[in-house]
Amino acid sequence: MDAAEISRLVEREIDGNWSRSNAHGVDLRRCLVKPTKGVYEDCSGSGSIELWLILEEVPEDQSGYKIVFDERTGVFGLATRNFPGRPDGLIGFYGSFLETLEAM
């Protein structure tokens, strides 16, 4: 998959409902980012994993939760900033993009 395919997948799920939010007040238009691949540390202690970054809760400084996508399994998950010098940490997988947004 490439960034454009992943963006289309997310946009199909949003289905034009850009006003949808969650308990954290996420604004989809502001918080969705161009999908980029990165390495995340699995917080369960099972090593690292390559995932696509899809959404930044606080895009200005990347301090909030992140929604990531595993193209191998087709599931979305939550990640968060880690200690300086370490990759961001994968918290877990929650299913679809909208299920993950709600789980935040």
pLDDT tens digit sequence for 22-38: 999 999 999 999 999 99
Owning domain of residue 48: 3-103
C-alpha span between 70 and 25 (Å, rounded): 24
Q: Is the pLDDT of residue 86 over 90?
A: no
Q: Are strands 75-80 and 48-56 parallel, antiparallel or unpaired?
A: unpaired
- Percent of the chain beyond pLDDT 70? 100
pLDDT, mean of residues 78-89:
89
Query: What total of structural domains would you count in the chain?
Result: 1
d(CA 57, CA 38): 17
35-55 mean pLDDT: 92
Angle at 54 between CA 93 and CA 5, to 5 degrees: 105
Q: Which residues pair with 76 in a beta bridge?
A: 69, 95
